[in-house]
Amino acid sequence: MKISRRHATIGGVTLLAGISMGTSVQAQRDRPLKRAIEDAKEQEKVRSAERLTPKELASRTVYRRAVDAVIWGLPLVGEDTVKQAAFRDGKANYNDIVWWPKGGGWKNQSPTPNVNTRYMYFFINTKQNGPVVVELPPAVPGASFYGTIEDAWYVPLTDIGFEGKGGKYLILPPGYKDKVPDGYYSAVSTMNRVLVLLRAIPPGGDNDAANVLMQTAKVYPLNPRADWKAPDWVRLKKGDFTPLQWETNIKYWQVLKEIIDLEPADDAYRPYYGELAALGIIKGQPFTPDARMFGILERAAADANAQMRVQSFADRRADRAAWADRRWEWASLRPENGTFDAPTYLDLTAREKWFFQAQVESPAMFRRSAGAGSLYWLGTRGATGAFLDGANAYRLTVPHPVPGKLFWSVTVIRLGDAL
């Protein structure tokens, strides 16, 4: 019998439908067996836990809390490392301005820098000085400012210098209730310490213009005391802006404790302060872990660091891909805002990934629309999908013209230490 193409097609569909139906029936028959296997596995987990002693279960609970606390506290600790570099390596103090008139380099160990813009930053302490003014001029021919003001959690208070705009920005201390004077852009910080980070961008490569522009920035108290002196300008030729030396050991916890003592408790993080309290870290109280707790905290710091390294550089989220046919990933997984907020939750994975591989957060750093600010891609794999290896040679093709209005930059980072 000769079978027409139409008959063959219908016959194939019928056969596939029959296979599908048969598989469905078999799945229904197997469902009780699968459920029984799953129940047995769950019961085995319970029995495994039951075999642990109360002391072992307590240690497991403390360890779990500690891993979560390391991850949660990373922005706070990361911001403090930037302050430590200025104060330790540059002998700076609050309000002193650290800058790089010749650009950054390998001696300035910092996550995600670029060398074709000019950086400057300084720290404000509203507990010491009260409301503080940051004064920026508008853009000049050949250079413009682009920066952000953030609290100790790296939570952005406001972007500054965007689109070439200058102005006076008034940073107010936590709980400020008085009238704000006219003529200022104002923001109330939740923390005493505030970071101001600026880049002077020379679109045409006029670094002299960028350096001149940088030196016109000002910082001063709204109501200076009699002993107020103008800030020093610190050229930091060498500095370590990372927690690499101690992020996997007990020093991490000691730094975190120091910050907790210095800053007011933020109501938004009350559950996490509770996690720290269970680990012996309470504002205003001594932190004296015994040998058992010391070991748990060090192990948790190392394991949390490894976990975040995998999240950052071996991410499996589908929305990480910038293009379906290439290996480039979005460095920030949330473009909507600068705080990792989704409609109904805080995207913890996006927050953890960003702060492990970078410093500072800002709405203008995360947007993906043209002309919105900075835009960052991350590449950890070659065309074959294998991780990039420092022992191999690679070619990066950048099509022209590059769609960057102000500048574009490529930075090579060593994954072993994220620099």
Query: What pLDDT, on the 0 to 100 scale, is given for residue 320?
Result: 94
Residue 198 DSSP class? E
d(CA 275, CA 279): 7
For 251, phi then psi, to 5°, come to: -60, -30
Q: pLDDT tens-digit profile of 288-337?
A: 999 999 999 999 999 999 999 999 888 989 999 999 999 999 989 998 88
Question: Which residues on adjacent β-strands are paired with residue 135?
Answer: 168, 218
Question: Which residues on adjacent β-strands are paired with residue 108?
Answer: 239
Q: Using CA atoms in the order 274, 77, 154, 63, what is the torsion angle rounded to 10 degrees?
A: -40
Report strand pairing: 167-172 vs 185-188.
parallel
Contacts from 257-262 at CB under 8 Å and sequence distance 24+?
Answer: 257/281, 257/287, 258/80, 259/76, 259/77, 259/80, 259/152, 262/192, 262/193
Compute CA distances 282 → 63, 279, 385, whole Å: 17, 9, 46
Backbone dihedral region of 328: left (phi > 0), alpha (psi from -120 to 50 degrees) or beta?
beta
d(CA 62, CA 382): 40
Where residue 369 falls among pLDDT bands split at 50, 70, 90?
A: confident
Contact residues for 169 (Cβ-Cβ < 8 A; gap 6+): 133, 134, 135, 136, 149, 158, 160, 184, 185, 186, 187
Query: What pLDDT, on the 0 to 100 scale, is given for residue 46?
Result: 53
pTM over 0.75: yes
Domains of the chain in start order, with CATH, are 52-84+243-313 (1.10.3360.10), 91-235 (2.60.40.1610), 315-419 (no CATH)
Helices (H), 217-320: 250-262, 270-278, 291-313
What percentage of the chain carries pLDDT values higher than 90?
46
The structure tokens listed for 49 are 């836990």
d(CA 346, CA 348): 6
Q: pLDDT tens-digit profile of 164-197?
A: 889 999 999 999 999 999 999 999 999 999 999 9
CB 184 within 8 A of CB 195: no
CB 180 within 8 A of CB 172: yes
Residue 87 DSSP class? I
CB 240 within 8 A of CB 80: no
Where residue 45 falls among pLDDT bands split at 50, 70, 90?
A: low
Compute CA distances 388 → 170, 323, 381, 395, whole Å: 45, 18, 5, 11
